[in-house]
Amino acid sequence: MELLSILFGKLLRRSSHMEPEADDSDRPGWRFVLRRTGFPKLLLAIVLVLGGLWLFLGILEDIISKDPLVTVDRVLHDGLQRLRFPFVDHIMVAASELGDAAVTLPVSLAVLVVLLFRREWRTAGYWIAAVVTAEIFVKTLKFAVQRLRPVSIYDGIESFYFPSSHATLSIVVYGFLTYLVCRGRQRQVQLRIAMTSGLVIALISFSRIYLGVHWFSDVLAGLSVGTAWIAFLSVTHHLRDRDRQGSTALWVVALSTFLANAVVHIYLRHSFDFIHYAM
């Protein structure tokens, strides 16, 4: 944990010296960071980054060494499968489909187009880094760990399950989008946006456990590393954010793209996926 704290501090200090502003150019790194973010937000970011990484590495160690967490996974999996009902299955399948690439990819591209159109080059770079790095990380770790899913319904690298792609990409895409949309808005508006986004992420994540295609630890690992990643990106982006008021066009386009693709994707895939996920 101490090593992670040192690395996080160095990364923040590097970010604080990028493109210095006139009124901040004479300030040391940490003083600028504290002035720009405020102590409560900085402390929260540090807790999320270090806590997320610590939790992720702990889960990974338990899985490799087959510690009691593996037993907890099986107990939760077996218990949920005994509680499944067709009506709830339909809801969970639809929730899982919200995390499919057919929904997250169009949303990611739509956000990128808006940022490029507004000439927010730096923010667009952060957005690309957030999504692409998360995707590469998940694929690489799945290939490295090669732990099979509870049920075999996928082929190739997707037959491996650690960490959950749905959980990781959902929290990165929808979570970092929430940060971008909430910039400069009133606290109550920020809270409503965050709660809505959090509900979507929670539904997608829980649906993967409920449908039996992921263990609990897969989803928790994906959420923890995804949280650490977007917390770090958010605080470093905030240090030099020129557009502190955010963009109405961004959330309108993102929400419209999400709803349109979600409706179409669920309509086209739901019947097939319902049978596909049947136990």
Residue 118 sits in a domain whose CATH number is: 1.20.144
CA-to-CA dists, residue 58 to 6, 7, 223, angstroms: 19, 18, 13
* Dist. CA 77–CA 213, nearest whole Å: 9
Q: What is the pLDDT of residues 92-120, one digit of tens each?
A: 999 999 999 999 999 999 999 999 999 99
- 30, pLDDT greater than 80: no
Span 6-17, mean pLDDT? 49
Distances in whole angstroms, Cα of residue 22 to Cα of each of 19, 25, 26, 244: 10, 6, 8, 17
Burial class (CB in 10 A: 0-12, 13-18, 19+), 49: buried
What's the CA gap between 56 and 220, in Å, rounded?
8
pLDDT in the model for residue 279: 58
Q: Is the pLDDT of residue 1 over 80?
A: no
Q: Quick one: pLDDT at residue 44? A: 86
C-alpha to C-alpha distances, 266 to 94, 196, 277, nearest whole angstrom:
6, 19, 14
- Rounded Cα distance, 19 and 242, in Å: 11
Residue 258 is part of which domain span? Answer: 2-276
Domain tally for the chain? Answer: 1
Q: Which two tokens stand for residue 158?
A: 């997707």
Pairwise CA distance, residues 101 & 173, whole Å: 11
Q: Shortest CA distance to 222 belongs to which of 235, 236, 207?
A: 207
